[in-house]
C-alpha cells in the first residue's frame, strides 16, 4: 500500500512539474531562472487548475449525467422491469433478460458522433443490429426452431393444422386496425404480424416493410418500427399466460373444456421425413416471400428427422439458436433508444399488439368450436387447443395444458395443443409472406 502511494505521489509530482520544466527550457536567459520559475510556477498553478476544471467539465459533458433525458430514465426502468419479470416470474427469461439488458444498454445517454449508439453507422452495436435490419437473425432462429420441433402430433392429426390458420385472423385484423389508426400500408402490415405471436417473423417482416429506408409511392419514407414491433411481439409472447386464460374461460363452456381427445396415433419415421420436404414445397410455392423463414424451418426439421445429421441438428437447436437469440435479444433491446422509441406510434403499436393477441386467441378458439360442429363422437376436439394456434411456441400450448388440467385433472392436452401451436408458426410465416408479396 505504501509503495503504491509513493509511486502515485512521484507520478503526480512529475506530471505537475512538467509545465514548469517546459517553461524553464523555453526561457532564454539563464540568469533569471529562479525568479521566472517562481513567477511562472504561480501562473501555471492557476492555469493548471482552470485547465483541470476545463478538463473535468469537458469530461462531464461526455458523461451520461449531462446528457440524460427523461426518456432514457423511463426506458432504463422498463429494462429493469423486464429483467425483474424474467427472473421473478420466469416469463420467457431467455428472451426478456437479453432484451431487458439491451434496453438498458441502448438507453445509456451518450454524445452523438463517436460511433457509440446503435443507430450510428460504424458502431459495434450498429454492426450487430445489421442482422436485425437486414432480417438475417430470424431465419437462423427458424432453423433452430425447426431442429427442435416435433411435427408428429400434426402429422397424426392433420386437421388441427387449420387452427393455426384460424389464429392468423389476428394478423389481418390488426393490419386493418393499424390502417384505421392512420398507419400507411407497409407499416400496418408490419404491425399486423405482431398478431402472429412469433418474434422472428415479426422482426423479419418489419425489417422488410417498416425499416425507415423504403420509400412509398407518394414519396415519403416509411418509419422505422422494428424496435417497437419486436418489443411488442416479444413482451406479449411473454405475457401469453396472462392474456389467454381469461379469453379461454370467456368463450369455452365448462362442458367443452372437459372434452377428452383420443391420443394421437404413432407416426412413422418415414412420415416425419416426408413432412418437411412436402410442407416446404407446398407452403413456399404458395407464398415464396416467406422462403427465408419456411425454408430454414423445414431445413432444420429435416436435419432432425433425417436421422443422419444429428450433429447438425444438435448444433442448430442448441448452440446456434442460443448465439442468435443472444444477439437478437440484446440488439432489439438496444434499438429502443428513447429518442427514437418513445413516440406516439410506439404506444399505438403496443395497444394494437395487445388487441392482436386477443383477436388471434379468439379466432383460434372460435374456429375450434366451429370445427366441432362437423366432428362426431370420438373425433371431437377440445376447443381449448384452438388458443394454441397463436404460435408463441411453446407457451400457448402450456397455457392450454394448464387450463385443461384445471377443468379436468386427467385431461392432458399438451400433445394435442402442440399441433396447432407448430402449425401457427407455419401459418404466421405464410401470412408474413403474403403481406410481403402484397406490400413489399
Partner 1 sequence: MRPIFLYNNTLDEGYIILITGLLIVFSGLLLLTLFFKFGLPFLLYIYKIITKGPDKKINEISSKVNEEFTGEIAAAISAAVHMYLDERHDKENAILTIKQARKLYSPWSSKIYGVYSRKL
**81 makes contact with partner 1 (CB under 8 A):** no
**165 makes contact with partner 1 (CB under 8 A):** yes
Region near partner 1 per CB under 8 A, out of 82-90, 225-233, 276-284, 324-332: 276-284
Beta bridge partners of 211: 224
Task: Please give the backbone phi and psi of residue 115, each rounded to the nearest 5 degrees, phi first.
Answer: 55, 50
Q: Whole-number minimum distance, CB 140 to partner 1, in Å? A: 24
Q: Whole-number minimum distance, CB 152 to partner 1, in Å? A: 8
Cα 167 from Cα 200, distance rounded (Å): 17
Contact of 194 with 236, CB cutoff 8 Å: yes
**275 makes contact with partner 1 (CB under 8 A):** yes
Site for partner 1 in 134-153 (CB under 8 A): 152-153
Mask for 210-239, x = binds partner 1 (CB under 8 A): -------x----------------------
User: Distances in Å between the alpha carbon of 436 and those of 6, 121, 294?
Assistant: 69, 27, 14
**280 makes contact with partner 1 (CB under 8 A):** no
Q: Which of 120, 271, 314, 408 binds partner 1 (CB under 8 A)?
A: 271
**246 makes contact with partner 1 (CB under 8 A):** no
Q: Which of 270, 311, 376, 410 binds partner 1 (CB under 8 A)?
A: 270
**307 makes contact with partner 1 (CB under 8 A):** no
**289 makes contact with partner 1 (CB under 8 A):** no
The alpha-helical segments, DSSP class H, found in 134-198 are 137-148, 152-156, 161-166, 169-180, 185-192
What cell numbers appear for 370 in the block?
366451429
**175 makes contact with partner 1 (CB under 8 A):** yes
What cell numbers appear for 294 in the block?
419456411
168 vs 325 by CB, closer to partner 1? 168
Q: Which of 176, 213, 347, 375 binds partner 1 (CB under 8 A)?
A: 176
Helix axis angle for 291-305 and 414-439, nearest 10°, is 150
Q: Whole-number minimum distance, CB 284 to partner 1, in Å? A: 10
Answer whether the bond into residue 394 is a cis peptide, omega within 30°. Answer: yes
Contact of 357 with 197, CB cutoff 8 Å: yes
Nearest to 159 by CA among 391, 425, 428, 389: 389
Residue 252 burial class via C-beta count within 10 angstroms: exposed 0-12, middle 13-18, buried 19 and up? buried
156 vs 258 by CB, closer to partner 1? 156
Mask for 5-44, x = binds partner 1 (CB under 8 A): ----------------------------------------
DSSP 384: G
Place of cell 467539465: 57
Q: Whole-number minimum distance, CB 144 to partner 1, in Å? A: 22
Nearest to 194 by CA among 426, 358, 26: 358
Nearest to 151 by CA among 346, 422, 435, 339: 422
271 vs 339 by CB, closer to partner 1? 271
Q: Whole-number minimum distance, CB 303 to partner 1, in Å? A: 20
- Furthest-apart CA pair in the chain: how many Å? 116
Region near partner 1 per CB under 8 A, out of 103-111, 114-122, 223-231, 266-274: 266-274
HSE-up of 76 (CA within 13 Å, CB side)? 11
Region near partner 1 per CB under 8 A, out of 52-60, 130-138, 228-236, 280-288: 280-288
**382 makes contact with partner 1 (CB under 8 A):** no
Q: Which of 102, 131, 189, 199 binds partner 1 (CB under 8 A)?
A: 189
Size of residue set near partner 1 by CB under 8 A: 54
**286 makes contact with partner 1 (CB under 8 A):** yes
Contact of 304 with 276, CB cutoff 8 Å: no
**96 makes contact with partner 1 (CB under 8 A):** no
Beta bridge partners of 224: 211
Q: Whole-number minimum distance, CB 420 to partner 1, in Å? A: 10
User: What kind and span of H or E run contains 206?
Assistant: helix 199-209
327 vs 436 by CB, closer to partner 1? 436
User: Distances in Å between the alpha carbon of 56 and those of 48, 49, 52, 61, 80?
Assistant: 12, 10, 6, 9, 30
What cell numbers appear for 277 in the block?
420436404
Which positions touch partner 1 (CB under 8 A)? 152-156, 158-159, 161-162, 164-166, 168-169, 171-173, 175-176, 179-180, 184-185, 188-189, 217, 262-268, 270-271, 274-275, 278-279, 282-283, 286-287, 415, 423, 426-427, 430-431, 434-435, 438-440
Amino acid at each position: 500500500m505504501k509503495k503504491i502511494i509513493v509511486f502515485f505521489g512521484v507520478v503526480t509530482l512529475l506530471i505537475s512539474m512538467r509545465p514548469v520544466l517546459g517553461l524553464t527550457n523555453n526561457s532564454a536567459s539563464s540568469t533569471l531562472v529562479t525568479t521566472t520559475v517562481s513567477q511562472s510556477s504561480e501562473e501555471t498553478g492557476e492555469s493548471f487548475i482552470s485547465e483541470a476544471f476545463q478538463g473535468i467539465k469537458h469530461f462531464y459533458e461526455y458523461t451520461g449525467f449531462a446528457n440524460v433525458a427523461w426518456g432514457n430514465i423511463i426506458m432504463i426502468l422498463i429494462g429493469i422491469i423486464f429483467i425483474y419479470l424474467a427472473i421473478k416470474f420466469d416469463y420467457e427469461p431467455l428472451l426478456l433478460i437479453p432484451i431487458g439488458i439491451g434496453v438498458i444498454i441502448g438507453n445509456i445517454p451518450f454524445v452523438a458522433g463517436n460511433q457509440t449508439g446503435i443507430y450510428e453507422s460504424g458502431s459495434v452495436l450498429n454492426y450487430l443490429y445489421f442482422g436485425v435490419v437486414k432480417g438475417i437473425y430470424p431465419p437462423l432462429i427458424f432453423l433452430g426452431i425447426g431442429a427442435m420441433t416435433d411435427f408428429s402430433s400434426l402429422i397424426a392429426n392433420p386437421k388441427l393444422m387449420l387452427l393455426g390458420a384460424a389464429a392468423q385472423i389476428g394478423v389481418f385484423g390488426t393490419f386493418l386496425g393499424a390502417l384505421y389508426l392512420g398507419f400507411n400500408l407497409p407499416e400496418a402490415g408490419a404491425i399486423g404480424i405482431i398478431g402472429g405471436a412469433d418474434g422472428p417473423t415479426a422482426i423479419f417482416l418489419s425489417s422488410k416493410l417498416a425499416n425507415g429506408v423504403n420509400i412509398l409511392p407518394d414519396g415519403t419514407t416509411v418509419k422505422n418500427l422494428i424496435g417497437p414491433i419486436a418489443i411488442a411481439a416479444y413482451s406479449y409472447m411473454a405475457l401469453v399466460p396472462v392474456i389467454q386464460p381469461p379469453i379461454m374461460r370467456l368463450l369455452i363452456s365448462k362442458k367443452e373444456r372437459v372434452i377428452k381427445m383420443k391420443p394421437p396415433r404413432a407416426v412413422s419415421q418415414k412420415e416425419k421425413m416426408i413432412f418437411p420436404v412436402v410442407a416446404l414445397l407446398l407452403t413456399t410455392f404458395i407464398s415464396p416471400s416467406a422462403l427465408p423463414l419456411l425454408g430454414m424451418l423445414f431445413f432444420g426439421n429435416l436435419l432432425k428427422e433425417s436421422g443422419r445429421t444429428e450433429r447438425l441438428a444438435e448444433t442448430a437447436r442448441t448452440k446456434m439458436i442460443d448465439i442468435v437469440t443472444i444477439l437478437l435479444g440484446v440488439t432489439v433491446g438496444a434499438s429502443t433508444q428513447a429518442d427514437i422509441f418513445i413516440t406516439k406510434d410506439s404506444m399505438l403499436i403496443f395497444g394494437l399488439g395487445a388487441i392482436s393477441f386477443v383477436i388471434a386467441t379468439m379466432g383460434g378458439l372460435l374456429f375450434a368450436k366451429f370445427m366441432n360442429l362437423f366432428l362426431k363422437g370420438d373425433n371431437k376436439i377440445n376447443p381449448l387447443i384452438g388458443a394454441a394456434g397463436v404460435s408463441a411456441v411453446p407457451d400457448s400450448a402450456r397455457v392450454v395444458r394448464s387450463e385443461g388440467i384445471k377443468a379436468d385433472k386427467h385431461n392432458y392436452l399438451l400433445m394435442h395443443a402442440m399441433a396447432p401451436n407448430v402449425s401457427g408458426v407455419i401459418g404466421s410465416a405464410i401470412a408474413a409472406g403474403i403481406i410481403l408479396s402484397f406490400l413489399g
